Amino acid sequence: MDQKNAAAELLTDLSTLTSRSAPARAPVRVWSMSGVERVTFPDSSTAVFKYARAPFDNEDQALRMARTRGVPVPRVHASAHREGWLGMLMDDLGEPAREGDDLDGAAAAVVLHAAGPTTVLPLLDEARLGALPRRALDHLDQLRKTERWTDAGDVEGALDCLAQAAATRARGTTVAPFGWVHSEFHPTSLHITHNGWRLLDLARAFTGPGLLDLASWHGTLDEPDPARLRGLLESYVAAGGTPDALTERGGLTAEAWALGWHRVWAVEWFMELAVRWINDPATDPAYLKVVRRHLAEAVRLLEA
């Protein structure tokens, strides 16, 4: 089912589930794998309609579970599934009053990481974290079998270095904070109004090392900045986060460990997108560029 038809059918299903007539639709953000719209029903009430295809099709479970754990997230009014697509009707939070800053991010991370454990989320423990370079090498093999990424010997070399260092560098994965991980934790993940904040976009949440959230907060467009992350970690502890967030792990400082493994995690994800979820050779140059940059950063940070 293509995206346009999936969105239309899911919205029909959701309208039926909530006993409402078909709403007017206004796109907010649309990507090839997901979309967000503001919908207005005939009674003038509004909601946010979000739809996404696999692997983002379990966000309704994550949002509902987070809410029961005391994490401020948008309320899911109804959800529906069709042929690998998820559709949700959620609270319309309106326009944000401002973007989140580092103190907001630290405070929100404390709340998320304090949420009780759940088996609903995938697990990224020490063994699975350490296996990421090998998983990425498997993706590379699959790409090469279809005559793609054939000039990526440098990618293979960097992943080999990381795979050899992984057993040592992955130590400390389960040191606190270990539990809920947002995985795409950025200032845009916080919706801040005069009534407080809500955490958005839990489509890729998992159970794992919470330091990966803090490492992702400043984004990946600029060079990783360990000193800046150290400041965020200290703000996190000051906001009530565990002091263990500042401890060394894998023979590295907490900030180098977090930034390095976050880049490895991102590399494996981009390569899985390339081989499985997007699977479009036209995107290969863009993905290769990002993968090469993140690999160079990871090798340096993890001293592989």
pLDDT of residue 284: 96
The arithmetic mean of pLDDT across residues 155-167, rounded, is: 98
Give me the helices (H) in 20-75, please.
59-68
Instruction: Indicate if 46 and 84 belong to the same structural domain.
Output: yes
Is residue 232 domain-resident? yes
Instruction: Indicate if 85 and 107 belong to the same structural domain.
Output: no
Instruction: Indicate if 290 and 165 belong to the same structural domain.
Output: yes
Instruction: Indicate if 23 and 160 belong to the same structural domain.
Output: no
pLDDT of residue 116: 82
Q: Each residue of 19-43: pLDDT tens digit?
A: 999 999 999 999 989 999 999 999 9
Q: Is 247 helix (H, G, I), strand (E, B) or coil?
A: coil
| Mean pLDDT across the chain | 96
Residue 267 CA neighbour count, 13 Å, CB half = 33
Is residue 150 domain-resident? yes
Maximum CA pair distance of the chain? 61
More reliable by pLDDT, 239 or 116:
239
Q: Each residue of 82-129: pLDDT tens digit?
A: 999 999 999 999 999 999 999 999 999 999 999 988 888 999 999 999
Distance CA 207, CA 118 (A): 8
pLDDT of residue 119: 86
The arithmetic mean of pLDDT across residues 212-228, rounded, is: 97
pLDDT of residue 118: 86
What is the number of helices (H) and of strands (E) in the chain?
10, 9
- Residue 72 belongs to domain spanning: 3-90
Instruction: Indicate if 85 and 118 belong to the same structural domain.
Output: no
The arithmetic mean of pLDDT across residues 279-286, rounded, is: 95
Distance CA 277, CA 34 (A): 12
Instruction: Indicate if 267 and 138 belong to the same structural domain.
Output: yes
Is residue 95 domain-resident? no
CATH number at residue 28: 3.30.200.20
Is residue 96 domain-resident? no
Q: For residues 54-75, b (16+ Cβ closer than 10 Å) or e, as one string?
A: ebbbbbbbbbbbbeebebebbe
End residue of a domain, out of 69, 90, 111: 90
pLDDT of residue 184: 94
pTM of the model: 0.95
Distance CA 263, CA 256 (A): 11
Identify whether the C-beta of residue 33 lies closer than 8 Å to the C-beta of residue 77. Answer: no
Confidence at 217, pLDDT banded by 50, 70, 90: very high
Tell me how many domains the chain contains. 2
Instruction: Indicate if 117 and 199 belong to the same structural domain.
Output: yes
pLDDT of residue 123: 97
Sign of the torsion formed by the C-alpha atoms of 176, 177, 183 and 184: negative
Cα distances (angstroms) measured from residue 85 to each of 7, 80, 119, 230, 303: 8, 8, 22, 39, 41
Is residue 265 domain-resident? yes
pLDDT for residue 202 is more than 90: yes
Is residue 97 domain-resident? no
pLDDT for residue 5 is more than 90: yes
Confidence at 153, pLDDT banded by 50, 70, 90: very high
φ, ψ dihedrals at 43, nearest 5°: -85, 10
Instruction: Indicate if 79 and 145 belong to the same structural domain.
Output: no
Identify whether the C-beta of residue 82 lies closer than 8 Å to the C-beta of residue 8. Answer: no
Instruction: Indicate if 174 and 109 belong to the same structural domain.
Output: yes
pLDDT for residue 149 is more than 90: yes
Confidence at 1, pLDDT banded by 50, 70, 90: confident
CATH number at residue 123: 3.90.1200.10
Instruction: Indicate if 168 and 117 belong to the same structural domain.
Output: yes
Instruction: Indicate if 57 and 167 belong to the same structural domain.
Output: no
Distance CA 159, CA 171 (A): 18
DSSP letter string over 68-134? HTT-----EEEEEEETTEEEEEE----S-SB---HHHHHHHHHHHHTSPP-TTS-B--HHHHHTHHH
Identify whether the C-beta of residue 177 lies closer than 8 Å to the C-beta of residue 245. Answer: yes
CA dihedral 279, 284, 286, 291 (to 10 degrees): 90
End residue of a domain, out of 42, 69, 90: 90
Instruction: Indicate if 60 and 113 belong to the same structural domain.
Output: no
Distance CA 8, CA 268 (A): 32
End residue of a domain, out of 61, 90, 119: 90
Confidence at 50, pLDDT banded by 50, 70, 90: very high
pLDDT of residue 187: 97
